[in-house]
Amino acid sequence: MSLVVVGSVAFDAIETPFGKIDKVIGGAATFISLAASYFVKPVQLVAVIGRDFPEETINDFISRGIDVSGLERDLNQDSFFWSGKYRADMNTRDTIETRLNVLADFKPVLPRSYRDAEYLMLGNLTPDIQKSVIDQMVRKPKFVALDTMNFWMNPPFVDQLIENLELIDLLTINDEEARLISGEYSLVKAAKKILEKGPRFLVIKKGEHGALLFHENKIFVAPALPLEEVFDPTGAGDTFAGGLMGYLARTENITFDNLKNAVIYGTTMASFCVEKFGPQRLLELTVDKIRLRYDAIAALSSYERALF
């Protein structure tokens, strides 16, 4: 079943305690699409790039089975650019520079062939752009997921974001964002408030501490793979969402039990992403490598229950 992915396709400059790179492919939709492409075809990409974006990467997308007919190129501007520096803990990062460039007036137009997709992943963008994409679908998709960030949780953007929550099935945010949008410190209370606003499912991403999936009154706790070295965490959250949505679109089973596995496949893909700068690692995978990693992650939290 096809999956539409909307978001940025861009350049990043990244500094981590392990190295520095001045220009590497980045963008939420890049990571989401590549991760999802191992599970489902076609992934139908919607994004805007500038005159500076390499044809080679577009060919990478195509060879991964990603439909790029919704990838618009604006020849008058450069691509979106973000530069950031990670602190020693690798969990906190400071933005050094953001150049919106082509994103400043991005108004995505979905190709006709995308508009009846059953799975839709809205990567981090302004809430009004996310809304405009939902509006272009000719029928309500089976499952809509939305990723966002703290920046949109303040006026004047937050009202549209809250409105969007009524239209989606899954929200993916991190713990800090869950606290910010709900006004609750306890993640259990935060999740209740967020689920009341519309989405049936909520995933709270906690980086090295794993992820929490909330649905009705149920909670699933997914471990992260403890790693010797996190080389570059950029895109890990998007890769997680891509693996999750790819698995869901492939299996077409919208139940809490299946969402658990989707979260584990998201975790699996994210564990690869952080091993190299940019999306490099996501271009080198095979189904076998993914299955082996999935097994390693499953082993982490498995045990035989024993009553005493």
Position among 59, 150, 186, 255 found at the interface with its own copies (CB under 8 A): 186
Tokens of 283: 């271009």
Nearer CB in complex with its own copies: 180/219: 219
Question: Which C-beta is closer to its own copies: that of 264 or that of 273?
Answer: 264
Structure tokens at 248: 């869901």
Binding-site string for its own copies from residue 57 to residue 96, where x marks contact by CB under 8 A and - marks none? -------------------------------xxx------
Query: Cβ distance 31 to 242 under 8 Å?
Result: yes
* Binding residue (CB under 8 A) for its own copies from 261, 266, 270, 272: 261
Closer to its own copies by Cβ: residue 125 or 269: 269
- Of 157 and 220, CB closest to its own copies: 220
Is 143 or 294 the residue whose CB approaches its own copies more closely?
294
Burial class (CB in 10 A: 0-12, 13-18, 19+), 60: middle
| E strand spans, the chain | 3-6, 10-16, 19-26, 43-50, 66-74, 81-86, 93-99, 119-122, 143-147, 170-174, 201-205, 211-215, 218-222
Which residue in 27, 127, 210, 278 binds its own copies (CB under 8 A)?
Answer: 210
Q: List % helix, strand, coil for the chain (3-state, nearest 5).
A: 40, 25, 35
65 neighbors 43 (Cβ within 8 angstroms): yes
Q: Footprint of its own copies on residues 19-58 (CB under 8 A)?
A: 39
> Does 220 sit near its own copies (CB under 8 A)?
yes
Per CB under 8 A, which of residues 107..136 are in contact with its own copies?
none
Question: Using the rule CB under 8 A, which residue among 155, 156, 183, 306 binds its own copies?
Answer: 306
Kindly state the smallest distance separating residue 295's Cβ from its own copies, in Å: 8
Pairing assessment for the beta strands 43-50 and 66-74 based on DSSP bridges: parallel
Q: Which is nearer to its own copies, 179 or 281 (CB)?
A: 179
DSSP per-residue letters across 12-64: EEEEETTEEEEEEEE-HHHHHHHHHTTT-S-EEEEEEEETTS-HHHHHHHHHT
Start-to-end CA span in the chain (Å): 46
Which residues of this protein are in contact with its own copies, per CB under 8 A? Answer: 39, 88-90, 185-189, 206, 209-210, 212, 219-224, 226-230, 247, 250-251, 257-258, 260-261, 264-265, 287, 291, 294-295, 298, 300-301, 303-308
